[in-house]
Amino acid sequence: MPALIPKYKRILLKISGESLAGQQKNGICPHALQRFANEIKKVYDLGVEIGIVTGGGNIFRGLSDNAKQMDRVTADHMGMLATVINALALHDILERNKIPSCVMTAVKMQEFAEPYIIEKAVRHLEKKRVVIFSAGTGNPFFTTDTAAVLRAVEIKSDIILKGTRVDGVYNADPEKVQDAFKFDTLTYMDVVKKGLKIMDTTAITLSMDNELPIIVFNFDRTDNLKKIILGESIGTKVQG
């Protein structure tokens, strides 16, 4: 049987906080964590270097309705802390599945995780540890999508893989619009001009400036992540 050769050597996987909640809609679902660990292990076993950025929407989002009456900086700081909680949960489930990993934070909290330093992150990746980046960029007013692109650029990732509940990017919400159609490929400017809600404009612009491709795919489907790594056309690819 021929060896499976990954198309990408180093990836940045972006996972929403809501996806960690599973069917319960908030908090952290053990079944969702285990499913993610199963999918990540398939790629890890291929020798791929993996960085992960997770959102915090399952716990607290700085732009949520619950945060409207709060100072924006305070709300964003709470959102950053939510991503650290999710990162620690991911770290725990990966380690329990024999996948070496570590958590790095953009703000100092040494009792919980390592402070983010680019060179140390790259060394962890080279030593085949999954690196979970948390606390966003460490600054308010920036989303975890922007943090994901920034970290991907810094660690010289080959691609960003954004896991969602749908199988790509549509011209309308496929869960609400019956005749919505899926794009197989898009340019960065297509995303901006069409107002497609893949990532915020800052994240898309940063990807464009650094020629960093993005694939949006359904992470709920078994083996989708592995298929992308092996070069199959899954989801929607955004590039120049």
pLDDT in tens, 90-108: 999 999 999 999 999 999 9
Long-range contacts, 186-192 (Cβ 8 Å, 24+): 186/236, 186/237, 186/238, 187/238, 187/239, 187/240, 188/238, 188/239, 188/240, 190/238, 191/238
CATH architecture classification, 10-239 = 3-Layer(aba) Sandwich (3.40)
**What pLDDT does residue 1 have?**
46
- Please report the pLDDT score of residue 2 as a whole number: 56
* Phi, psi (rounded to 5 degrees) for 106: -80, -10
The stretch 189-213 carries a mean pLDDT of 94
Mean per-residue pLDDT for 159-171? 92
Predicted confidence at residue 48, as pLDDT, reads 98
Confidence at residue 165, expressed as pLDDT on a 0 to 100 scale: 86
- Res 52: pLDDT: 98
User: Would the pLDDT of 63 be above 80?
Assistant: no
Q: Please state whether 223 falls in left (phi above 0), alpha (psi between -120 and 50) or beta.
A: left
8 A C-beta contact, residue 125 and residue 8? no
Write down the pLDDT at residue 188. Answer: 96
Of 60-69, 141-150, 172-181, 203-212, the range with the lowest mean pLDDT is 60-69
**Beta bridge mates, 187:** 239
pLDDT over 80 at 66, yes or no: no
Domain ranges of the chain: 10-239
Q: Is residue 227 over pLDDT 50?
A: yes
Look at residue 132 and tell me whether its pLDDT is greater than 90. yes
Please determine, for residue 87, whether its predicted confidence score (pLDDT) is greater than 80: yes
For the segment 33-40, the average pLDDT, to the nearest whole number, is 97
Report the percentage of the chain scoring pLDDT > 70.
98
